[in-house]
Each structure stands twice: as C-alpha cells, then as structure tokens.
Amino acid sequence: MEQRRQSFFSADDANYLARAEAADRANEYLYRVLDIGQYMLQSGAEISRVEDSIRRLCASFGAERIDVLSITSSIVVTIYAPQFGAVTQTRRVAGQQYDLHRLEQLNQLSRRICTQYLSLEETEAALEEIRKTPQYPFGVQLFTYALISASFSLFFGGSVLDAVASGLIGVVLRYLDRIIRSTEANAFLSALICSCLGGLLAALSVKAGLGESVDMISIGNIMLLIPGIPLTNSLRDMFTGNTISGLLRFSEAILLALAIAFGFAAVAALM
Amino acid sequence: MDNVLQLAAAFSGSMGFALLFQVRRGKLLLASLGGLLAWAVYLALGPVISSDVPRFFIASVVLTIYGEILARVVKCPATLFLVTAAVPLIPGGSLYHTMRYFVEGDFAACSAQGLNTLLLALAIAAGMIVPTSLFQLIRRIRVWQAKKK
C-alpha cells in the first residue's frame, strides 16, 4: 500500500509539468472561445449556433470531448483531451445588444479559426477588430426609429399625418431609450416607461391636430418596440431542441410585448 | 392602391429593422425585399384563402425558404434575413387592440382578439419551423453521406 502511494506521488515531474502547461494553454484558448460565444449570444444568435460554434472551435484546437451547455444568460463548457485533462469554464452573459453585422463577423471568424487554425494572438487581434467595428451613427439610428414607426403606422392603415406623428414620437423614444439605458433599468421597466410616454405623446399629438388616430400612431411605435429578434429566435431555439432557452426567451419576449401594448393602450384609454 | 402602399410600407419597415440591427449594404436590400416578399405572398393569397391564419402560415414558409437559401448563397446566418423579413407579419395591430379591449374592460372582445393574435403568432412560428427542419434534415443527410464515403 505504502509503496503504491509513493509511486503515485513520485510521478514523472517533467510529464506533470507538460500537462500543467498544456492545461494552461487550453484554458487560455477556451477563454477566447467563450468570448466568441458570449459576443454571439449578445448580438442575437440562436442557442444552437452558439453551442455549435463553441464545439467546432474547441475541436479545432485539439479537444477530444466537448460538452457545451448554453442558455440565454450563461455558457458552460468542459473540454477534455489526454494532453491536458479536463478543463472547465463558465461565463455569465448579461446584456444584449442586437447587432446582426457583428454576428456575421463572429461567424466568419469562427469559420476562419476552424479552417486556418489561427493562433491565440491572431484570434485576439481579429476579436479586437470586431469589437472596434463602429455601429451606425446616432443620426442614422434616429432616422431608423422614425422610419420604422412611420412605415408601420401607414402599414396598419394610418393616414400620412399619423405616420408623421408616429415617426416624430419614434425619434423621442430613441432619446428616451438612450437615457434609460444609461441608468441600467431592467427591460420591463424601460418598456413600460417607453410605452406609457409613447401613448401619452400619441394622445397629445392628436389633441394638437398632428395625426388623426391615437390607435394608428401607437401601433407604429409598438412595432418599433416589440422584441422581434427574441421572438423569432426563441421559436427556432425550441424547435432545434433547446427547449429551456426557447421557453425562457419566449416567455420574456411575450411578457415584454404585453407590457408594451398595455402601456400604450392604458394611456389611450385614459385620455 | 392600398396594396401598393402596404407593400411599400412593408419594404421600408423591414429596412428600418435591418438598419436597427446593423445589417450592412447589399444585405440591407435583400433583407428589406424579404419583408416585401412576405407581405406580397400574404396579399396574393387573398383571393384564394379568406382566413388570415393559413395566409400567415404560407407567407412565413415562403420567407423562411427565402432566408435559408439566401443564407447559403451569401454565406451568413439565416437569422439575419428571417428576423427582418418576418417583421411585417408580426401582429402588432392585433396585439394593440387586444390590450385596448382589456384596458377598457371589454373582456369578450379582448379574448376574441387575443385568440386571433395568438393564432397569428403560432402560424408564423409553424411556418418557420417547417422549412428550417427540412433544411436541417438535408444538412444531416449530406453530413452522413460524406461520412459514409
């Protein structure tokens, strides 16, 4: 017994060091892989895409067994290979900033890593470049909010005046969104504030003679605020086998949509 | 005339969402065209089917096929086209009216309108699932065949 124990502890030192070093490297790679997974999730990827990308990336740097679990707010990965043993990392993912362009870039990057076996430094540099890619300037975003509101006000049968009013309210909502974002209020509170103020402005603009129907103005703004990406993604998640995430995201999106419609309708009924 | 206006609004509305989600250049146009396509299918089915639910379903199937094919042609995630093109189908108006009835205390009208909203949402969802599953199946079969060789 004593002898066995000794042989266990007097393992070949060089071998042990090599293994520890390999584990260190694996940890560093895994950290980058989780960065990619996190950014993907935040910019609006479906769960299956995130898990699939992580699996491929880990396989590309030599992991033999990869167990990934991702839900909407967390990623857990354990990889195993004889050279470095089992390595686990988890990542809490908070805050979403939908950006389909970034998602596309991340997707390309992960393909590139898998086919060209980028080094750690190259991966880092590419990630930094993606992080630095500018979003559309604030002016374009204001225009976007107005465009969406006005289009859907017309789409659902509003007059041209309604569309103009809805567009203007859309611009106000963009400013409001910026203020609320800076206070880091939760999504429901911010949706309620936005929708109540939107409803109020819609009612006021009809009273002031700009716009004819409170309903049509509000509908344009509702379409703007409704969580479209989570809704479509949650359905795709559920039917690709990621039921937990699908349900999580689905109920979140439905509650948000209800809160938004409620805010507008409540103000419209009160005025 | 109404239809032309709606189609134009569907196009610009989808483009708005594509901009909102940072879609760039050429894909911006493709994504907006998806929204136009979805609503065109819905309108074209008008004379054939009177009920909204199957029309939404078919429109959703067509736009998903459009998105999945484009994703393979221009090599980018299908989500990019699906999310933006599905926007005109989202029953925002119906949802608003549901809540309006609810707030006014007209619960009979609220539940009828609410059911309608729910059915439309389900129709869109079901429409997305069919082509997505088919495309997945095709991919799996291809992978399996490649492994066999």
d(CA B40, CA B26): 21
Task: Say how many residues make up chain A.
Answer: 271
Q: Please give the DSSP secondary-structure letter assigned to residue B24.
A: -
Helix (H) or strand (E) holding A218: helix A214-225
Select the residue of B9, B23, B99 nearest A154 (Cβ to Cβ).
B9
The sign of the dihedral angle between the CA atoms of A201, A202, A203, A209 is positive
3-state secondary structure A99-131: CHHHHHHHHHHHHHHHHHCCCHHHHHHHHHHHH
CB contact under 8 A, B132 and A239: yes
**What end-to-end distance do the CA atoms of chain A give, in Å?**
86
CB contact under 8 A, B5 and A231: no
A228 contacts in B (CB within 8 Å)?
Answer: 17, 83, 86-87, 90
pLDDT of residue B18: 92
Write out residues 201-220 of A within 8 Å (CB-CB) of B. 215, 218-219
How many structural domains is chain B composed of? Answer: 1
Task: Classify residue A2 by burial, with Cβ atoms within 10 Å: 0-12, 13-18, 19+.
Answer: exposed
Q: Which residues of chain A have pLDDT under 50?
A: 9
CB contact under 8 A, A151 and B16: yes
Is residue A233 within 8 Å of residue A242, measured between CB atoms? no
Select the residue of B12, B86, B102 nearest A147 (Cβ to Cβ).
B12
pLDDT of residue A72: 86
Position B13 pLDDT exceeds 90: yes
Mean pLDDT of chain B: 89
CB contact under 8 A, B22 and A102: yes
For this complex, say whether ipTM is above 0.90: no
Nearest 5°: phi and psi at A119?
Answer: -80, 170
Is residue B34 within 8 Å of residue B62, measured between CB atoms? no
Q: A86 vs chain B: nearest CA distance in angstroms? A: 28
d(CA A145, CA A123): 35
A222 contacts in B (CB within 8 Å)?
Answer: 92, 95-96
Domain boundaries, given as residue ranges, for chain A: 2-132, 138-270
Whether the CB of B43 is below 8 Å from some CB of chain A: the reply is no
pLDDT of residue B35: 93
The residue of chain A with its CA nearest to that of B98 is: A261
Is residue B27 within 8 Å of residue B74, measured between CB atoms? yes
pLDDT of residue A22: 87
d(CA A108, CA A70): 20
Q: B27 vs chain A: nearest CA distance in angstroms? A: 10
Cβ neighbors of A117 (< 8 A, separation 6 or more) are: A60, A61
What is the greatest pairwise CA distance in chain B? 66
pLDDT of residue A181: 80
Q: A237 vs chain B: nearest CA distance in angstroms? A: 10
Helix (H) or strand (E) holding A70: strand A65-71
CB contact under 8 A, A144 and B19: yes
CB contact under 8 A, B9 and A135: no
What whole-number percentage of chain B has pLDDT above 70? 99
For residue B125, the enclosing domain spans: 2-148
Mean pLDDT of B21-33: 89
